[in-house]
């Protein structure tokens, strides 16, 4: 059993999200040097084994955004499990003089044996939400800062953009196709985050292989240009993939291409794709042309540098699906969530039962933080709509006990909350359904829920 209402199911052994077939075998050097030098100094001073609690949160949402989306949690669990220093890494650290001999010995046996609690993947969040709490000794927790932030900042940014695009699409399918616009491994993570945020499929086969996300794809302009005529290209594609394929119709003249596509594939043609031009105008013209040619069931897919605003502008157009690349994998202008990882509580000694006391940075310029290990709850009104996000320390008020957001993810170093990616995707839909309607507005505004500290 897990420790919280809304707890996650146990790991499903059928899920493809196991191992690291499209990643590095160890995440131990996905860290900043100062985390190792802090470790060395803490080992020397005798404070390394003090029990500590670190929290991940953001002080603000990207300008104008009304909510954030938690994504990457499953990847964080993989990263923590694979945080191991092998002989080659230790040799590198020794040769570079990063840390001393006793610290290298300590790192050789590193395993995270603490606890992690956090918002489950797909949940929404707001400024000050305690998204993740990492508890253990200072030494074992401090090393995880960079890799945790790297994953959560990237994946949550993509998921937030995906969620806004899904709102704009209003139920029409969305295809993630941004692999060529980012780092090859970031592309896999972006596909995963986009799926959590509401996308339906990806063009990235690595993402399909690793995470079981549906994959799609047919042809690019190069395939048409390869052939002597557009008809030859369409004929070759239909012969290979069947009449249900999607034909790209904007290489030369759109109207002529649509006519040729229906002649080649027949009225059973699956779809046509438009990748340039005035998409609103072309979608209407192509729909009318397809209907006139008897291809009433042929779908229209549009691509071409779409973002949530462009998708929203096509709401009245006869578009059946959208393909999104650059704007999605770059967070639609906000490629990071500005999440931070801060020590919020620590013991005064290394005694196992020593109580934790709150600690916090005092800072000018808006970088201060609140001390203490925090809980979070989101009470609902009589209609099932969230009223606020309540964050506090100490005992949880009884009236909020059933509305807590955090669940236990790791206990004693063992992952206890792996879940199918589909579960995170469904959770996001449910979380959005509980937000006020103003969350669906794409116009700039304040966070849709206030965060109350008690």
pLDDT in tens, 117-135: 999 999 999 999 999 999 9
CA angle 243, 248, 253 (to 5 degrees): 120
Q: Is the pLDDT of residue 259 over 70?
A: yes
Q: Is the pLDDT of residue 4 over 70?
A: no
- Band (7; pLDDT cuts 50, 70, 90): very low
In the block, which residue shows the tokens 């589909």?
A: 422
Q: What is the pLDDT of residue 329?
A: 98
**Separation between Cα atoms, residue 156 and residue 121, nearest integer Å:** 9
Section 421-430 average pLDDT: 98
DSSP string, 326-341: HHHHTGGG-----EEE
Per DSSP, what are the bridge partners of residue 407? 118
**Separation between Cα atoms, residue 157 and residue 166, nearest integer Å:** 14
- Band (24; pLDDT cuts 50, 70, 90): low
User: Tokens standing for 5?
Assistant: 């209402």
In the block, which residue shows the tokens 């499990």?
A: 81
Q: Is the pLDDT of residue 22 over 70?
A: no
Section 250-266 average pLDDT: 98
CA 440 centroid distance within chain: 19
Section 393-411 average pLDDT: 97
Q: Are 20 and 78 in contact (CB under 8 A)?
A: yes
At residue 116, the 3 state secondary structure works out as strand
Longest dimension (CA), the chain: 80
Q: What is the pLDDT of residue 364?
A: 66
CA angle 295, 297, 299 (to 5 degrees): 100
The separation between the first and the last C-alpha atoms of the chain, rounded to the nearest angstrom, is 28
Q: Is the pLDDT of residue 16 over 50?
A: no
For helices 145-169 and 73-81, give the axis angle rounded to 10 degrees. Answer: 160
Per DSSP, what are the bridge partners of residue 392? 375
| Closest of 165, 12, 146, 128 to residue 79, by C-alpha | 146
Instruction: Tell me the domains of the chain and their CATH numbers.
Output: 33-158+333-453 (3.20.140.10), 169-332 (3.20.20.70)
Task: List, in order, residues 6 or more apart from 354 with CB less than 8 Å away.
Answer: 50, 51, 347, 348
DSSP string, 163-199: HHHHHHHTT--EEE--GGGS-HHHHHHHHHHHHHHT-
Q: Is the pLDDT of residue 222 over 80?
A: yes
pTM, to two decimals: 0.93
Q: What is the pLDDT of residue 366?
A: 66
| Closest of 161, 85, 164, 120 to residue 408, by C-alpha | 120
Total Cβ atoms within 10 A of residue 310: 18
Distances 279 to 166, 177, 272, 315, 318 between C-alpha atoms, Å? 18, 18, 13, 11, 10
* Dihedral angle of Cα 17, 18, 21, 22, to the nearest 10 degrees: 40
CA angle 17, 133, 358 (to 5 degrees): 170
Q: Are 107 and 38 in contact (CB under 8 A)?
A: no
CA 270 centroid distance within chain: 31
pLDDT digits (tens, 9 = 90+) for 167-206: 999 999 999 999 999 999 999 999 999 999 999 999 999 9
**Separation between Cα atoms, residue 15 and residue 38, nearest integer Å:** 38
Q: Provide the b/e sequence for 334-368 (b: ≥16 CB within 10 Å).
A: bbebebbbbbbbbbeeeeeeeebeeeeeeeeeeee
Q: Are 360 and 77 in contact (CB under 8 A)?
A: no
Section 37-41 average pLDDT: 98
């Amino acid at each position: 059993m897990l420790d919280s209402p809304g707890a996650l199911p146990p790991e499903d052994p059928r899920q493809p999200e196991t191992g690291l077939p499209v990643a590095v075998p160890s995440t131990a050097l996905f860290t900043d040097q100062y985390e190792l030098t802090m470790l060395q100094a803490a080992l020397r001073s005798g404070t390394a084994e003090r029990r500590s609690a670190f929290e991940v949160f953001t002080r603000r949402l990207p300008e104008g955004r009304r909510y954030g989306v938690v994504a990457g949690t499953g990847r964080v669990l993989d990263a923590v499990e694979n945080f191991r220093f092998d002989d080659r890494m230790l040799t590198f650290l020794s040769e570079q003089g990063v840390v001393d001999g006793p610290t290298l010995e300590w790192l050789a046996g590193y395993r995270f044996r603490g606890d992690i609690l956090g918002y489950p993947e797909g949940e929404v969040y707001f400024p000050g939400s305690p998204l993740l709490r990492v508890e253990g000794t200072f030494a074992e927790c401090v090393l995880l800062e960079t890799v945790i932030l790297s994953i959560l900042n990237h994946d949550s940014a993509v998921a937030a953009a995906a969620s806004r695009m899904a709102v704009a699409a209003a139920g029409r399918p969305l295809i993630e196709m941004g692999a060529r616009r980012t780092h090859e491994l970031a592309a896999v993570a972006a596909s995963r985050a986009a799926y959590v945020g509401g996308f339906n499929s990806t063009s990235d086969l690595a993402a399909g292989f690793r995470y079981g996300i549906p994959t799609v794809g047919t042809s690019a302009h190069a395939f048409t240009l390869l052939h002597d005529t557009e008809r030859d290209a369409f004929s070759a594609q239909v012969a290979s993939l069947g009449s249900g394929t999607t034909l790209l119709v904007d290489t030369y003249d759109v109207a002529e291409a649509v006519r040729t596509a229906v002649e080649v594939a027949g009225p059973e043609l699956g779809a046509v794709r438009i990748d340039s031009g005035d998409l609103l105008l072309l979608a209407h013209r192509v729909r009318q042309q397809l209907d006139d040619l008897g291809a009433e069931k042929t779908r229209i897919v549009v691509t071409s540098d779409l973002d949530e605003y462009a998708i929203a502008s096509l709401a009245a157009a006869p578009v059946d699906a959208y393909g999104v690349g650059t704007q999605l994998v770059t967070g639609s202008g906000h490629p990071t969530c500005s999440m931070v990882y801060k020590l919020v509580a620590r013991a005064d000694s290394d005694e196992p039962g020593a109580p934790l006391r709150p600690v916090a940075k005092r800072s000018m310029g808006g970088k201060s933080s609140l001390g203490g290990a925090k809980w979070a709850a989101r009470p609902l009104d009589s209609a099932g709509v969230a009223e606020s996000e309540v964050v506090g320390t100490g005992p949880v008020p009884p009236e909020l006990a059933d509305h807590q957001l955090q669940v236990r993810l790791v206990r004693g170093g063992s992952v206890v909350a792996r879940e199918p990616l589909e579960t995170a995707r469904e959770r996001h839909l449910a979380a959005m359904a509980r937000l006020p309607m103003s969350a669906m507005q794409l116009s700039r505004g304040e966070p849709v829920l206030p965060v109350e500290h008690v």
